[in-house]
Amino acid sequence: MQTPIFQIDAFTNTLFGGNPAAVMPLQRWLPDSLLQAIAGENNLSETAFLVATPELDDADFHIRWFTPTAEVPLCGHATLASAWVVFNKLDWPHNIVRFQSKSGPLAVSQKPDGWLELDFPNLAFERCPTPALITEALPGSPDEAFFVPNDTNYMVVLESEAEVRSAVPDIRKLAQLGNQGLIVTAEGEHCDFVSRYFAPGVGIDEDPVTGSIHSMLTPYWAERLGKTCLQARQLSARGGELRCELKGERVAIAGQAAFFLEGSVQLP
């Protein structure tokens, strides 16, 4: 069985920037073990799988996301990449596509300037003492952290963009957090806020650009800076730019995409 595959660089308009994601439209769902094996073979931070849902009135596709080692409940860059594939490779006649996911309904719309805007949930977060593992992995971390129960992430807020950029956490220690990742963030010098994201427990030492964490970063920085529209940058080696807007219980996260690869996978 031959199955199409696409690779898209998300949250960038420059090839080899942003975050690469594999996107695989399927005729039907394959066994979870096979989906996980494909994602491991792709060896990208995320592989998104899509199945059309013509039987549903409120969704066009069902979407699932896999890292090389685990399925995750929410992923921004692979959703944006999937929308790009739907709009540009699947003869989609509309300027919005609706996905059903483990995190509920997600929509992506094409904006007049070519950016793609994700409609994501506003993820609640809780203040907590910084776990000892994080303090050991990233010396100098503040005493207080934030936990995102619906996305299994911790966040620490550093003093400056320079601290975020120069952070070198101990990846082996962070891996002991299991499926919980670490966001580090600070106010930006040339944008509203910057971040980096580490999730070695699910096979991602550092994610180049992570749309889903902005479901928590946006409400945090909107409250702190007193504004609802924010410009963000993720400071990985590849880098990425995002436009974020707090919309009550939802968060709009917009980015661009660059097309890299189209082919087919031979499955048993």
CB-neighbour burial class of residue 45 (10 A; exposed 0-12, middle 13-18, buried 19+): buried
Query: Which amino acid appears at position 142 of this protein?
Result: P
46, 117, 161, 241: the catalytic one is: 46
- Please give the Cα distance from 238 to 251 (Å, whole number): 24
- The token duo for 73 is 């409940």
Residues 6+ apart with CB under 8 A from 81: 6, 8, 10, 21, 23, 48, 257
- Residue 46 annotated as catalytic: yes
Pull the structure tokens for residue 49. 């799988």
Tokens of 114: 């070519």
The amino acid sitting at 47 is T
Distance CA 240, CA 220 (A): 19
Length of the chain in terms of residues written: 268
Amino acid, res. 40: G
Identify residue 230 by its one-letter amino acid code: L
d(CA 111, CA 160): 32
Contact, 241 vs 13, CB < 8 A? Answer: no
Tokens representing 81? 């990449």
- Tokens 């970063």 map to which residue? 217
Inter-residue contact 245 to 221 (CB < 8 Å): no
Q: Please report, as a single letter, which amino acid is at residue 14.
A: T
Active site (catalytic) residues:
46
